[in-house]
Structures are given as C-alpha cells and as structure tokens.
Amino acid sequence: MTETRFLHPPEPVLYAPIIEAAVREDLNHGDITTAVTIPPGQQAGAVIVAKEPCVAAGLFVAMHTFRLMDPQIRFANTAPEGSSLEPGDILLELSGDCAAILIAERTALNFLQRMCGTATMTARFVQEVSGTACRIVDTRKTTPGLRILEKYAVRAGGGFNHRFDLSDGILIKDNHIAACGSVSEAVKRARKLAPHTLKIEVEVTSASELNEAIEAGADAALLDNMDCGQLAEAVKFARGRRADMLLEASGSVTLQNVRDIAETGVDIISSGALTHSAPAVDLSLRMK
C-alpha cells in the first residue's frame, strides 16, 4: 500500500443526506433476511479488502453509512485516502452489531467502489502526464446527486476540480456564443456584469475564435476538440499574444492520447471520463 498526500474530506453536512437517502432506498421496510437469521445483539467483525489494484477514496463515506445503522460500530486500520492498494490489501476493519454491518454492507460498498473507481481512473491520467506542468481536471459530467463525492474522489486520485456548479465560474460555451452572436460580444457582456472575483473562460474551436477571445480580453480559453497539431499551434499563437492566458484542452481525451495533449503546452486537460466512465473497483466485505 502506497500512501499519498493528506486529503480533507467534504463536511458531513454536504454528504450525509446523500448517504441517508441511499440507506433508505435499500432498507425500505427492513432487511428481512438479517431479521430472520441474526439474533439481536450478536456482535461481529469484518474487513473490506481490495480485489484489484486501486486508489482508496471514500472511507469516510463507508464509515458514515455503517454508523447510521449503529453509532457504536468501531473502525481500525483505515487505508489513507488517496493511497494505492494491491489485491488483498485492507481498506477498513470494523466491528460491532452484526445486523447493522449486514444491513449497511451493500450501500457502503456501492459508494466505496464508485469513489475508488473514480480515484483510480484519475490516478492513471495523472500518471500519464507526470513530468509535465499540465493538470488533470474534472468536469460537471457527474452522476446527479453525487457530485460532491465524485469530485472529492478526483482529488484523491491526484487530479483537480473544475467548476463545482454553474455559479463557480464563467465559462462561455458554444451555445452562449451562438445566442450572443459572437465571442467578443459574449465576453463583453460577461465583463460588464460579472463579479470582479470571477475569471472569464471561453470555449473556442478554431484559431479565429481563439484570436477573438484574446482580443476581447478573456482570461482563459478552452480549446475544444482540437487535435494535437491544432493544440500546439493554438498554444504557440496564444503565448505570443497573451503569455498569461490559461489554456485548457478538452474533448476526446483518453489515456492513450493524454500525454501527447499535455506535451502541446496546455495548462489544463479536462475530461468527463474521470467521473462518467470510471469503472467501479472490485471490493469485498468479509465477515470474520
């Protein structure tokens, strides 16, 4: 198991309702199997183990899930958030009321497998661009209701977060430009009304749109669906005009091409795949 940097999880008030809703969905009128097989008060211990290489993320969510069923459940040997795990490594040991552990098992694993999957996918992208100055960032292409957890998992994997929501920054996209009539008009309107604390980023798909964004005074440009040759030309052009302009590449980013994209000189590579396409990690809870 390899440890990584300290990660501060979200405040419980932000994720507790998500977990409570998931527990209610699964529990419904009660766990009839546990009720007819496990006597009240029986104690037990269990471990959650990795069955494939992965990055740990979301142990605090799993613990919260179990404690909803029994606040007295005890935990030990918790894997550090963001640590690399191999098959057989323990993510979490727990002990307490046997029925509570069994009732919460599936919901806790659902969250944990998904978050570890996102962290693992992110770590692979981050590893591919190691040695460059480029950051891997997520998008708003998250599972409805799970954004706070999925974006945390991206950070656990070594990535960074883009906007959390629509109020988190100004990103003028193709449909905004179409509605405004031009890049320059869209930037002009945004600059006039936007709070002074927010930067303005513009999505561009061509050299002419990039030039228009630069002349309009945009702070950043999202270079959308450009191939590596186009990206390299765009970076060279933008750096010659505005050395401080932040350049983001997005669209059709894969593990196979992310290194080539990073080497074009862009500052950021954003990928929705980190959250919408990460496979769940295979984990297992085993009763002692």
Our answer to whether residue 201 is catalytic in this structure is no
Find the catalytic residue in 67, 106, 140, 163: 106
Structural tokens at position 72: 């007295």
Neighbour-count burial for 41-62, b at 16+ CB within 10 Å, e otherwise: eeebebbbbbeeebbbbbbbbb
Find the catalytic residue in 31, 150, 209, 224: 224
Our answer to whether residue 141 is catalytic in this structure is yes
Our answer to whether residue 106 is catalytic in this structure is yes
Find the catalytic residue in 67, 140, 141, 163: 141
CA distances from 199 to 94, 139, 243 (A): 46, 17, 16
98-128 vs 59-69: helix axis angle to the nearest 10?
A: 170
Residue 160 has what DSSP assignment? B
Find the catalytic residue in 31, 105, 128, 203: 203
Find the catalytic residue in 173, 189, 236, 286: 173
CA 238 – CA 240 distance, rounded (Å): 5
Our answer to whether residue 203 is catalytic in this structure is yes
Residues assigned a catalytic role: 106, 141, 173, 203, 224
